[in-house]
Structure 1
Amino acid sequence: MTAGRDLAPGTVRDMVLSARITRHLSRVEPPAVASLGSSNTVWRIFIALSDQSSLLPSSLANALAVDRSIVSRALARLHALGLVSRRVDPTDRRQVRVSLSARGRRTLNDYLSSVAVAFAGAATAVDEFCGPQVIEDADARRSARGFTVLSLETSLNELAVVGSTVVRDFLDIEAEFGVSGWQQRFTSWAAAAAPEAPAEELAQDLGLDPSSVSQAMDGLGALGLLDRNHPDRTVRLTPRGLDFVRRQAAAFVAHREDLVRALTNARAAAATRDRWHRPRVSG
């Protein structure tokens, strides 16, 4: 059985790899902000403030292309946790400027160190997704004299911007089909990449708990996108399910080049940070 007309196996395999990378990196979340939920916005705020002495909340919202009310709520909660400082703008006392507090900078530094380790753990998937030639060329440039590697903060912000754009396209398609949640999205991709594979194999390929994949399958089945009622316990996307993945694959391909660039930059920055921040072994 094939994945469906016009649905290239290499494309859906890359989609599964991107899902695995996403899950691997998203597990890195410092306890200090674990309760905030909106981690992508929170960490984009941290990164934007990391190389600025202070910013106006309105300028921060514009820089992140995020609604001001969302940024305002995130800043209020970060301030309550002691991660962000506020001070009156000396040039306009009606305005308040925000900056990372000393605790906020320590938290950011701990997070970036954890991300560097996470990238090392996801290296196989990242390298397969980007391609050996792209990685080899990037490593050669990084080793070249005078070549400057982007900071990990800047690289992660680039990755977040590209990722947010892709996800917005995915969400529009999912709204049409009634799909809800990244678990259903990733499970449909895995089912397209490995037709007739057992459910347990799909969970392993995605790096997800089998129970969460099983729940996603139930949801996809209820939507008429997946058929799992087979004696051999394999799962198959329905024609409607294949159409859903085909639509998402088209959106993915449109942004793949940007994703490769952002991941390659972040990989290089993480490797550089890991080398310079690796603890020294005495003795």
Structure 2
Amino acid sequence: MTSNDPDRREDEVDHLVASWRKERPDLDVEPLQVLSRVSRLARHLDRARRAAFAEHGLEPWEFDVLTALRRAGEPYELSPGALLRATLVTSGTMTNRIDRLAAAGLVTRRPDPEDRRGVLVSLTEAGRKRVDDAFTDLLRRERELLSGLGQREQQALAGLLRTLLIPFDATDSGAP
């Protein structure tokens, strides 16, 4: 039952839901209407993100660390502990990531003037250019993913997704 009316077109989830309704009429499969679409969209987003990062010679984890530094504002530096909180990885993993980014010339380490035992990780000019270019490309690709929605629809969807995510973010806030 396809048509030119956007509200009447069917997608893969419609077929999935219809199949489950036929096979398991005893179950309420209505959550699939939303969450299967979110899951499918997440896969498309993941592909777009990986393509944007690869285009600029970055892995997703590299992008995460570099964007945390970039969002910090000038002088684009954070302690390893702040990077841990921003990226939700273990300290051993972060040390390895900082080592690899430093070897690639994307970050440097310097002593923290406020803490004799501390270190600050700084974004290099090459790191800033790489992350800025990758972020610009990512936003272009994300706009393409959302191109089927108008501005108001995007805002409405963002609000609905925020409502769904807030309880999860609250319980994840204490995660390492």
TM-score, scaled to structure 2: 0.63
Aligned 8 A contact 1:30 1:107 in 2: no
Counterpart of 1:69 in structure 2 is: 92
Q: What is the Cα deviation at residue 44 of structure 1? A: 2.1
Structure with more relative contact order (C-alpha pairs < 8 Å, separation 6 or more): 1
Aligned residues: 137
Residues 96, 14 of structure 1: alpha-carbon distance in 2 compared, 3 angstrom cutoff? closer
Aligned 8 A contact 2:108 2:121 in 1: yes
1: CA distance, partners of 2:124 / 2:108: 5
1:43 corresponds to 2:41: no
Counterpart of 1:185 in structure 2 is: none
| Aligned residue type for 1:77 | R
Counterpart of 2:40 in structure 1 is: 16
RMSD over equivalenced CA pairs, Å: 3.2
% same residue: 24
Which of residues 79, 100, 124 is equivalent to 1:56? 79
2: CA distance, partners of 1:132 / 1:71: 38
2: CA distance, partners of 1:108 / 1:86: 18
Q: What is the Cα deviation at residue 31 of structure 1? A: 5.4
Residues 30, 17 of structure 1: alpha-carbon distance in 2 compared, 3 angstrom cutoff? closer
Counterpart of 2:154 in structure 1 is: 135
2: CA distance, partners of 1:123 / 1:58: 35
Query: In structure 2, the residue corresponding to 1:21 is in which secondary structure?
Result: helix
Per-residue CA deviation, residues 58-117 of structure 1 (Å, 9 max, x unaligned), is 232134332111111111000000000111122333322111000000001111111122
Q: How does 1:1-283 map to 2 (within 5 A)?
A: 2-3=19-20, 4=24, 5-8=27-30, 9-11=32-34, 12-30=36-54, 33-34=57-58, 37=59, 39=60, 41-52=61-72, 53=75, 54-124=77-147, 127=149, 134-135=153-154, 257-258=164-165
Q: Flag structure 2 segments of 5+ consecutive residues without an equivalent.
A: 1-17, 167-176
Q: Flag structure 1 segments of 5+ consecutive residues without an equivalent.
A: 139-253, 260-283
TM-score, scaled to structure 1: 0.41
| Aligned residue type for 2:19 | T
1: CA distance, partners of 2:81 / 2:63: 17
Higher strand share: 2
